[in-house]
């Protein structure tokens, strides 16, 4: 069902008026919106739609605050996993597997994405639809598009949102979701909605908020488009031999090669023989659980490029499918604030160990810098900011 373009004007005016609170529009912000309006017009969006949605939008300071403080960068793996794979989430997920079995089984058969994976994504994204987000998608995306950090990315997402309204796929009042502009049960960004969402039940509309059939099939289609391999798992917890070379952390080899190095399943049974490629992850360092992750793990990270997120999706999916808790629990350790991570990066850089940009984010480059420092100083080179490593660098954790 297409929405009448003229019918949406009244709704969008009310929507944008509600967005225009507190924060005045700066000249630079308005110039940015004007540029986006021109770019949207070049991609076929009507001037009327762009002006109606953007004319009264103001920057949202809460969006910038959320963007700078994403939990993946301030929580430990133990804290992250505890909050996202909780007993309540497990119980609710198991119930959803039963309640939505007809839809999930059909989608799994057609697209090769098992039900427990879809429910795991659903649980992490919106707690099974219990929190879809209430922030204005247009205002959030406009704020991020006119910010300095990832403006090009969010500029295209804002244009995609305008395209959805211009095409009649969604109404302006539907466009509410997360601070990052994601919407619906599976928190699709507008470009994903535009390119992958489908009308699964043939009712004439694509509704990712209130129609689970549309939402689930759209999620499966998106995963397949990102390279999901049917019949393959995401990864598994493993155990490492006592004399393991921790320089191999974050490296890739075949499962058979890992077996030859003494890596076993978490219960100490042999790994299944396979030539599939697997990467070794130690999200909490040598004292925490170890994982071999397979190509489908990388697909999860194409959904959300956070290693913690992808591990949580995989583990939640396993638990929903009957697996036991992790054999090796992550250690309890103080969380590093953004400022502490920045200090760590600067200290490593001054000591001659490249840790990437000084941005307060514990990414792959920072872990590699830590690993190089640990190796040079006789520490276990697991790439994790252990207390011993921080002490040697003279850094005190300063949790938020």
Supply the mean pLDDT for the chain.
Answer: 92
Contact 331, 78 (CB under 8 A): yes
Calculate mean pLDDT across residues 315-325. 98
CA gap 316, 310 in Å, rounded: 10
Q: How many percent of the chain have pLDDT more than 70?
A: 92
Give the model's confidence band at 72: pLDDT under 50 very low, under 70 low, under 90 confident, else very high: low
**For residue 181, is pLDDT > 70?**
yes
Contact 54, 145 (CB under 8 A): no
pLDDT at res. 69: 73
**For residue 6, is pLDDT > 70?**
no
| Those residues with Cβ within 8 angstroms of residue 367's Cβ, 6 or more apart along the chain or in another chain | 250, 383, 384
Best CA proximity match to 126, nearest among 177, 180, 69: 177
Cα-Cα-Cα-Cα dihedral sign, residues 234, 81, 77, 178: positive
Q: Report the Cα–Cα distance between both ends of the chain, in Å, rounded.
A: 48
pLDDT at res. 195: 98
CA gap 332, 284 in Å, rounded: 9
For residue range 251-281, what is the model confidence (pLDDT) as tens digits? 999 999 999 999 999 999 999 999 999 999 9
Calculate mean pLDDT across residues 377-382. 97
**For residue 7, is pLDDT > 70?**
no
Q: How many percent of the chain have pLDDT more than 90?
A: 85
Calculate mean pLDDT across residues 23-49. 90
For residue range 240-256, what is the model confidence (pLDDT) as tens digits? 999 999 999 999 999 99
pLDDT at res. 133: 96
For residue range 114-168, what is the model confidence (pLDDT) as tens digits? 999 999 999 999 999 999 999 999 999 999 999 988 999 999 999 999 999 999 9
**For residue 398, is pLDDT > 70?**
no
CA gap 124, 113 in Å, rounded: 17
Best CA proximity match to 303, nearest among 359, 233, 220: 220
Query: DSSP for 125-166?
Result: HHTTTT----EEHHHHHHHHHTSSSSHHHHHHHHHHHHHHHH
pLDDT at res. 200: 97
pLDDT at res. 3: 45
φ, ψ of residue 96 in degrees (nearest 5): -65, -35
CB under 8 A, 24+ apart: contacts of 200-205: 200/103, 200/107, 203/1, 204/1, 205/1
φ, ψ of residue 168 in degrees (nearest 5): 80, 15
pLDDT at res. 18: 38
For residue range 355-370, what is the model confidence (pLDDT) as tens digits? 999 988 888 999 999 9
Best CA proximity match to 362, nearest among 314, 278, 311, 306: 306
**Lowest mean pLDDT: which of 5-14, 196-205, 246-255, 361-370?**
5-14
pLDDT at res. 70: 58
Encoded tokens for 120: 């795991």
**For residue 51, is pLDDT > 70?**
yes
Best CA proximity match to 374, nearest among 391, 357, 360, 396: 391
pLDDT at res. 294: 99
Give the burial class of 344: count Cβ atoms within 10 A of its Cβ; 0-12 exposed, 13-18 middle, 19 or more buried. buried
- For the chain, the structural domain boundaries read 1-59+133-175, 338-393
pLDDT at res. 22: 38
**For residue 16, is pLDDT > 60?**
no
Calculate mean pLDDT across residues 47-71. 90
Best CA proximity match to 80, nearest among 300, 282, 312: 312
Length of the chain in terms of residues written: 400
**For residue 15, is pLDDT > 80?**
no
Note the helical H segments in the chain: 7-19, 27-42, 47-54, 61-68, 77-84, 87-99, 101-111, 115-126, 137-145, 151-166, 190-196, 212-225, 255-260, 295-303, 307-320, 338-350, 364-376, 387-393
Contact 264, 271 (CB under 8 A): yes
């Amino acid at each position: 069902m297409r929405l009448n373009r003229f019918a949406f004007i009244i709704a969008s005016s009310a929507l944008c008026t509600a967005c225009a609170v507190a924060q005045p529009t700066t000249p630079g912000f308005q110039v940015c919106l004007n540029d986006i309006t021109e770019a949207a017009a070049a991609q076929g969006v009507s001037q009327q739609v762009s002006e109606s949605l953007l004319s009264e939008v103001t920057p949202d300071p809460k969006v910038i605050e959320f963007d700078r403080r994403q939990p993946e960068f301030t929580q430990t793996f133990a804290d992250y996993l505890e909050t996202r794979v909780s007993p309540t989430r497990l119980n609710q997920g198991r119930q959803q597997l039963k309640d939505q079995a007809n839809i999930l089984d059909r989608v799994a058969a057609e697209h090769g994405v098992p039900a427990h994976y879809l429910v795991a994504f659903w649980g992490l994204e919106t707690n099974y639809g219990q929190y879809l987000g209430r922030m204005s998608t247009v205002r959030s995306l406009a704020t991020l598009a006119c910010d300095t950090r990832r403006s090009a990315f969010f500029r295209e997402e804002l244009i995609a949102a305008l395209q959805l309204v211009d095409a009649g796929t969604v109404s302006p009042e539907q466009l509410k979701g997360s601070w990052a502009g994601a919407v619906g049960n599976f928190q699709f960004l507008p470009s994903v909605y535009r390119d992958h969402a489908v009308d699964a039940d043939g009712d004439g509309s694509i509704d990712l908020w209130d129609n689970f059939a549309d939402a689930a099939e759209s999620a499966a289609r998106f995963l397949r488009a990102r390279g999901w391999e049917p019949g393959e798992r995401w990864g598994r917890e493993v155990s490492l031999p006592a004399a393991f070379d921790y320089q191999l952390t974050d490296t890739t080899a075949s499962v058979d090669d890992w077996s030859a190095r003494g890596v076993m399943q978490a219960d100490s049974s042999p790994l299944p023989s396979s030539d599939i490629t697997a990467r070794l992850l130690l999200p909490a360092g040598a004292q925490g659980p170890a994982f071999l992750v397979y190509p489908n793990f990388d697909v999860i990270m194409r959904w959300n490029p956070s290693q913690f997120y992808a591990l949580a999706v995989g583990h939640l999916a396993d638990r929903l499918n009957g697996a036991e808790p992790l054999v090796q629990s992550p250690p309890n350790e103080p969380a590093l604030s953004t400022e502490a991570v920045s200090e760590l990066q600067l200290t490593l850089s001054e000591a001659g160990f490249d840790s990437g940009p000084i941005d307060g984010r514990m990414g792959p480059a920072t872990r590699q810098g830590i690993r190089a420092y640990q190796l040079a100083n006789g520490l276990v080179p697991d790439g994790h900011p252990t207390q011993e490593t921080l002490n040697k660098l003279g850094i005190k954790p300063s949790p938020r």
